[in-house]
A = this chain, B = another copy of it.
Amino acid sequence: MKEFEFTTFLTSNIDIGEDELQKLSHACRSVSLKKGDFLLREGETCKHAFFVEKGMVREYSIDAKGREHLLLFAAEGWFLTNAESVYFDLPSDYFIQAMEDARVLLIEQTSINRLSEQHPSFASFNTRLLHSRILHLQTRVTQLLSASAEERYLAFIKAWPYLPLRVPQAQIASYLGITPESLSRVRKELAEKNYRPPK
């Protein structure tokens, strides 16, 4: 399984000097997680951003009826933060949990903010991350408003063709907003229609 280095991720995205990287690395801590371990639980305040170096992580909430709803998958090379919890210093509504054994870099949010103030290209990289998050969430809202379960599943496997090979179907169903049984039925109908996944 391919591993991603955070510094590679950064230097390929922003124009940041060696000294700045040094400063940032002091604010980082790498942790190893077993499948099921939590990085954040509902009610906690999230003080870090996360960079997944290896393995996979999910962000989800649990509703009043005890059902889980998946907000985000994050595999190697993904950067994730809990925007509300970090920025507004609110207790989180979400859990962040390892779906596989994983190694994750914790980056102190305060350091990110400091570096953003000092380093314009870091700030604009930060802004870019926020914008792509908005874009993604907007697309998801529109899709939930307009598309059927089947359409959402097709869009999902088109966007992340490798994920169904790696995560349990029940997790994908939770992301799509349907039950695992319904997803199973959707897949059966697609098979009967001779649907072939784009290679």
Contact = CB atoms under 8 A, between A and B. Distances in A.
Interface in A50-69: 61, 63-64, 67, 69
Interface string A108-139: 00000000010010010011101101110111
Number of copies: 2
Interface residues of A, number: 35
Given A131-B88, A147-B63, A142 B69 contact: yes
Contact of A134 (B120, B130, B145): B130
Contacts of A134: 83-84, 130, 133-134, 137
A87 B131 contact: yes
Contact of A146 (B61, B88, B117, B141): B61
A180 interface: no
Contact of A144 (B84, B128, B131, B177): B177
A93 interface: yes
Given A61-B146, A147-B63, A83 B141 contact: no
Contact of A137 (B64, B141, B146): B141
Given A123-B123, A127-B130, A130-B130, A177 B135 contact: no
Contacts of A144: 141, 144-145, 177
A188 interface: no
Nearest to A93: B142
